[in-house]
Amino acid sequence: MGLLSDPVRRRALARLVLRLNAPLCVLSYVAGIAWFLALVFPPLTQRTYMSENAMGSTMVEEQFAGGDRARAFARDFAAHRKKSGALPVAWLERTMRSVGLEVYTQSFSRKLPFPDETHERYMVSGTNVYGILRAPRAASTESLVLTVPCGSDSTNSQAVGLLLALAAHFRGQIYWAKDIVFLVTEHDLLGTEAWLEAYHDVNVTGMQSSPLQGRAGAIQAAVALELSSDVVTSLDVAVEGLNGQLPNLDLLNLFQTFCQKGGLLCTLQGKLQPEDWTSLDGPLQGLQTLLLMVLRQASGRPHGSHGLFLRYRVEALTLRGINSFRQYKYDLVAVGKALEGMFRKLNHLLERLHQSFFLYLLPGLSRFVSIGLYMPAVGFLLLVLGLKALELWMQLHEAGMGLEEPGGAPGPSVPLPPSQGGKHTGPRQGLDGTEAGSPDLPSTAAGLHRPHQLLTGLPAGHHHGAHCCACQASWAPDPLCCPAGADQPGSHAPWQPVPVAGAAGGATVTGRGLAALPGSASPGCAGAPHLRRPALPTAVPGPLPLLAAFLECALLEVRSACPGWDRDSPRTPFCLLLGK
Amino acid sequence: MAAPLVLVLVVAVTVRAALFRSSLAEFISERVEVVSPLSSWKRVVEGLSLLDLGVSPYSGAVFHETPLIIYLFHFLIDYAELVFMITDALTAIALYFAIQDFNKVVFKKQKLLLELDQYAPDVAELIRTPMEMRYIPLKVALFYLLNPYTILSCVAKSTCAINNTLIAFFILTTIKGSAFLSAIFLALATYQSLYPLTLFVPGLLYLLQTRHINPNSAAAVHTCENEEQSLLDLFLGVCHDVCGKPSGNHLPLLLPSQLLGFHPRSLWLYINVFFYTIPLAIKLKEHPIFFMFIQIAVIAIFKSYPTVGDVALYMAFFPVWNHLYRFLRNIFVLTCIIIVCSLLFPVLWHLWIYAGSANSNFFYAITLTFNVGQILLISDYFYAFLRREYYLTHGLYLTAKDGTEAMLVLK
């Protein structure tokens, strides 16, 4: 703790902070912004890599070939949905059962806090349908989830179709070590939240839902799928979740690996990733992606139903199929193969994803910035606040010091030009009872040496203000509550054995009327108020002095901050306000 | 000054009652910063229900309280909230009267030293007057009762509050001069957790001084010490006997090393609390109450399961030393550290346990930083105290040999 106990270094530091504060603040702010902008350039941004050992290799051949089946299911689903207007629960149940899953339903309802004017509803109720594929040789302790959120309009039918086709395909495999839950939710986010709350047996959003009949163990990872067309040109991934929470980076890496393996185009925020990071274009686009990601996280809104899984520490992603103008299209088989690969890899997990980063920013799908690298930018921005606070503290101390009588032995932490040192001899002479020193006092700058160390500015200011009010209380015309010698030495209180000269001359005995300030110590202005008529506190017992003191504390801040505050006219409105 | 004290008590009780009735009570009682395995209310209830079932409450290593707590709450379990509010009130009242008497003693001593001309001539501004010390007892009670740490401990029904009450009564009876009662309260406090044993030394020093016995004279010290020690032992023995067999193996249970399974390093932490007593006794033998304050702070920092309730007890003493405020050097840094750490405790706990993204290192780092802040606080107060003593005897305006102002540097 050399810095905190070595007076020479403290003085140097204090001087530095006070003199260079504004430039330091500006510099720090600019550094923060510059650092943030520099995040997209190669040394600060790194290529993504798979951290989890269990998900390392991707050597397995995917065998999903149920494209036609998926399309058939999708058409059926769309037709049934149009007919019933809501989720075709019975059809889903039947189909899932025919595919070979254990099927359960869950109904939920929620009274909306604000009525939904577009859909004219005050209450939302729906049904979730989910099927569990039990792992053939495992104990059902862990599970994976593939979920398709179905809104009230007729999107996502192809996703449901693909889900059912995948379920059928997965059912025939023997390598599953975790259960897989195929979940179709109604009213997308609301249904997902209802299911998750019931699954984890909590109730954080006040949803009324029927309890789940079937469970599958702790969920390790989840993928949410949104597909609205038979063919896609690219798969878009969304990572931002509720309150800006992000899934583990490994999940994103997994997705990217399988997209690359299958030759599928993958996009982030709907944009293809720049290949070239050496020239300026790549980083610029990366910067745009990064800033957009920051904005999306800041909004706190989950950008997909995966966002709700993250709250329960389940890593989840949302994959959206985009059908754009591109010529080369991929059909459902390609998407299915990517999903199959992902699920097979997730099947290998021995423990929850924890190796890779939880907090990161993405300039591109294959590049990331970890929190250790982007936090210093925020740190620089916050340093401005810290510096300002420190400066204000030190300034308060100085302002308060100016009115105090000369403190005792020179405190080493006052950053003054040494020429001020001579001034304190003036008030010192005042100790001998002369009043010669007193006129010097108001003009003595804040350079009075005192035992105060630098970082105790506040009490000095307190003393001044409180003391002045005490002055006002008992001595209206006194211009300055300082060792002006206006005390009548004769009225020395009998308990004061201190030499009269000392008391009168400005060695302020700690006779502050308002002793109720917490932490207020001795150095009040001179002219010990105890020598005067008893001021408020002794005359009025009760909580009033406390209250008065607290008010005073609050008001003092304002007073000290007043630019035109003149030491010679302590008769400020605040003192009068306190009405003493 | 009864009316302000009563008002403060009413406000404090209202705040606590409001919090007890709110939904925060359960949340607070699970926070690990407020309750520890040694002071948690859930464990007390567990022990009581085990006792009701006829099983020893100490089986299962869940319950770590003293049998006296069992006896106390066996009859008062339905009024638990009231009991804890009353203990807080009692602590505040005890501290109020203790500090009131202490101020009188301080003033008498100061007057004596002034008349004996022991002070340098220009230290007038360091002399304390009754006027400034008038509100200190009230402030002490206020600081204790309205400290957020105390309120949290009370709402969480942590038995640390009972320990605080016993220590406060020990201080009160020591200052009043009654060796018998102070030994009883010290015995009770030590019985609950071993650390207050270190307060024996300052208590003894104070009693010796009030009887105007020179602490340096070995014989007198010995007799007084014998008297107190025997009282202490007697009472501890009585406690053990009264509470029957379980207490036989109870005191060893309090050893943190045995609670955690013996780990050599925990023994060093354990020693840390007791280690500072001797140097402090040597340096502060003239100022036993300050010694007590520092010792309580040392206990709060170095005990094995510190909670914010322990911190609240020594924070209540700050108004007593407010004349040292001008010598304190690190107030800004300290306040920032303590506030920031207090805010970060729940954040990092959540990140570690619920979000799974931090790990225990983060939480441990914050507890370390908080302790560093507290150590800085004690050392600051210690420095300020010694500095004031130096100024009192050597004068406020120090000049070096060549007449320039001298700088006081702590080496």
Count of other CB atoms within 10 angstroms of residue B55: 12
The pair of three-digit structure tokens given for residue A370, joined into one six-digit string = 């970890």
Query: Residue B410's pLDDT is what?
Result: 57
Count of other CB atoms within 10 angstroms of residue A560: 19
pLDDT at A86 over 80: yes
Q: Distances from the Cα of B364 to the Cαs of A338, B339, B346, B349, B352, in angstroms?
A: 42, 17, 12, 10, 11
pLDDT in tens, A520-538: 333 333 333 333 333 333 3
C-alpha distance from A538 to closest chain B C-alpha (Å): 8
pLDDT in tens, A376-402: 999 999 999 998 988 888 888 777 665
Query: Residue A106's pLDDT is what?
Result: 93
Q: Which residue has the tokens 């807080």?
A: B88
Q: Which residues of B touch A500 (CB under 8 A)?
A: none
pLDDT at B171 over 80: yes
Query: Residue B37's pLDDT is what?
Result: 83
CB of A442 less than 8 A from some CB of B? no
Q: Which residues of A touch B408 (CB under 8 A)?
A: 409, 412
* Among candidates B125, B332, B405 on the partner chain, residue whose Cβ is nearest the Cβ of A510: B125
A157-171 and A89-99 helices cross at what angle (nearest 10)?
A: 30
Q: Distances from the Cα of A405 to the Cαs of A142, A453, A481, B387, in angstroms?
A: 74, 15, 10, 20
Coarse DSSP helix, strand, coil percentages of chain B, rounded to the nearest 5 percent: 75, 0, 25
* Among candidates A1, A456, A509 on the partner chain, residue whose Cβ is nearest the Cβ of B129: A509
Among A432, A456, A553, pick the best mutation site for testing chain B contact (most B Cβ within 10 A): A456
Rounded-to-integer distance, Cα B394 and Cα B388, Å: 10
The B residues from 121 to 160 touching A (CB cutoff 8 Å) are 121-136, 138-139, 143
pLDDT at A475 over 50: no
Query: Residue A20's pLDDT is what?
Result: 87
pLDDT at A76 over 60: yes
pLDDT in tens, B47-57: 888 888 888 88
The residue ranking higher by pLDDT, A325 or A478, is A325
Q: What percentage of chain B exceeds 70 in pLDDT?
A: 82
The Cα diameter of chain B in Å comes to: 81
Q: How confident is the model at residue B211 (pLDDT cuts 50, 70, 90)?
A: confident
Q: Distances from the Cα of A483 to the Cαs of A137, A179, A478, A489, in angstroms?
A: 91, 85, 11, 12
The A residues from 399 to 418 touching B (CB cutoff 8 Å) are 405, 407-410, 412-413
Are A332 and A71 in contact, with CB atoms under 8 Å apart? yes
pLDDT in tens, A257-276: 888 888 888 999 988 888 88
pLDDT at A285 over 60: yes
Query: Residue A348's pLDDT is what?
Result: 87
The residue ranking higher by pLDDT, A574 or A292, is A292
Rounded-to-integer distance, Cα B231 and Cα A131, Å: 73
Strands, E assignment, A134-241: 142-150, 179-186, 208-209, 218-226, 231-232, 234-238
pLDDT in tens, B66-99: 888 888 888 888 888 899 999 999 999 999 999 9
CB of B397 less than 8 A from some CB of A? yes
Type of residue numbered A52? E
C-alpha distance from A240 to closest chain B C-alpha (Å): 16
Q: Which residues of A touch B395 (CB under 8 A)?
A: 409
Q: Of the candidates A404, A578, A396, which has an alpha carbon nearest to the alpha carbon of residue A481?
A: A404
The pair of three-digit structure tokens given for residue A571, joined into one six-digit string = 């008769």
C-alpha distance from B325 to closest chain A C-alpha (Å): 6
Are A127 and A89 in contact, with CB atoms under 8 Å apart? yes
Q: Of the candidates A332, A251, A334, A337, which has an alpha carbon nearest to the alpha carbon of residue A61?
A: A337
Average pLDDT in the B298-305 region?
Answer: 88
Q: Which residue has the tokens 């006779």?
A: A511
B22 dihedral zone (left: phi>0; alpha: psi -120 to 50; beta): beta
Query: Residue A90's pLDDT is what?
Result: 93
Rounded-to-integer distance, Cα B227 and Cα B221, Å: 10
pLDDT at A70 over 90: yes
CB of B111 less than 8 A from some CB of A? yes
Average pLDDT in the B206-235 region?
Answer: 67
pLDDT at B192 over 50: yes
Q: How many residues are there in chain B?
A: 411
- Looking at every residue in chain B, the average pLDDT score rounds to 82
Q: Which residues of A touch B138 (CB under 8 A)?
A: 546
Rounded-to-integer distance, Cα B16 and Cα B31, Å: 17
Type of residue numbered A335? V
The B residues from 172 to 211 touching A (CB cutoff 8 Å) are none
- Asked if A451's CB is within 8 angstroms of B355's CB, the reply is no
CB of A498 less than 8 A from some CB of B? yes
- Asked if A518's CB is within 8 angstroms of B318's CB, the reply is yes
Query: Residue B127's pLDDT is what?
Result: 82
Rounded-to-integer distance, Cα A252 and Cα A246, Å: 10
pLDDT at A104 over 50: yes
The B residues from 293 to 332 touching A (CB cutoff 8 Å) are 318-319, 322-332
Average pLDDT in the B171-182 region?
Answer: 90
The sign of the dihedral angle between the CA atoms of A369, A373, A379, A381 is negative
Query: Residue B217's pLDDT is what?
Result: 57
CB of B114 less than 8 A from some CB of A? yes
SS3 at position A115: strand
Cβ burial of A484 (10 Å; 0-12, 13-18, 19+) is buried
B160-176 and B179-192 helices cross at what angle (nearest 10)?
A: 160
Query: Residue A513's pLDDT is what?
Result: 34
pLDDT in tens, A440-461: 333 333 333 343 443 333 343 3
Beta-sheet strand order (sheet of A360-364): A46-47, A367-370, A360-364
Query: Residue B24's pLDDT is what?
Result: 84
Query: Residue B70's pLDDT is what?
Result: 84
Query: Residue A68's pLDDT is what?
Result: 92
Q: What percentage of chain A exceeds 90 in pLDDT?
A: 37
* Nearest Cα residue in chain A from B116: A497
Q: Which residues of B touch A200 (CB under 8 A)?
A: none
Average pLDDT in the B244-255 region?
Answer: 38
Q: What does the DSSP 8-state code read for residue A405?
A: P
The A residues from 501 to 560 touching B (CB cutoff 8 Å) are 502-503, 507-513, 515-516, 518-523, 530, 537-538, 541-543, 545-546
Range with lowest mean pLDDT among B29-43, B217-231, B358-372:
B217-231
Q: Which residues of A touch B127 (CB under 8 A)?
A: 498, 509-510
- Looking at every residue in chain A, the average pLDDT score rounds to 74
Query: Residue B165's pLDDT is what?
Result: 94
* Nearest Cα residue in chain B from A545: B135
Work out how many CB contacts closer than 8 A connect A with B. 175
pLDDT in tens, B258-282: 333 345 556 666 677 788 888 888 8
For A330, list phi and psi in degrees, rounded to 5.
-115, 145
Are A531 and A493 in contact, with CB atoms under 8 Å apart? yes
Query: What ipTM was assigned to the predicted interfaces of this complex?
Result: 0.73
For B25, list phi and psi in degrees, rounded to 5.
-60, -45
Query: Residue A401's pLDDT is what?
Result: 60
Q: Of the candidates A370, A310, A373, A357, which has an alpha carbon nearest to the alpha carbon of residue A51?
A: A357
The residue ranking higher by pLDDT, B250 or B279, is B279
The A residues from 9 to 28 touching B (CB cutoff 8 Å) are 10
Query: Residue B237's pLDDT is what?
Result: 65
Q: Of the candidates B327, B366, B375, which has an alpha carbon nearest to the alpha carbon of residue B348?
A: B366
Q: Which residues of A touch B132 (CB under 8 A)?
A: 510-512, 515, 520, 522
* Among candidates A407, A421, A520 on the partner chain, residue whose Cβ is nearest the Cβ of B325: A520
Q: How confident is the model at residue B354 (pLDDT cuts 50, 70, 90)?
A: confident
C-alpha distance from A518 to closest chain B C-alpha (Å): 6
The secondary structure of A49-79, three-state, reads CCCCHHHCCCCCCCCCCCHHHHHHHHHHHHH
pLDDT in tens, B88-131: 999 999 999 999 999 998 888 888 888 888 777 777 778 888 88
Query: Residue B351's pLDDT is what?
Result: 81
Query: Residue A380's pLDDT is what?
Result: 95
pLDDT in tens, B380-411: 999 899 888 888 888 777 666 665 556 666 55
Range with lowest mean pLDDT among A346-355, B113-122, B163-172:
B113-122
pLDDT at B198 over 80: yes
C-alpha distance from B20 to closest chain A C-alpha (Å): 22
A457-474 and A371-403 helices cross at what angle (nearest 10)?
A: 30
The A residues from 316 to 355 touching B (CB cutoff 8 Å) are 352, 354
pLDDT at A94 over 90: yes
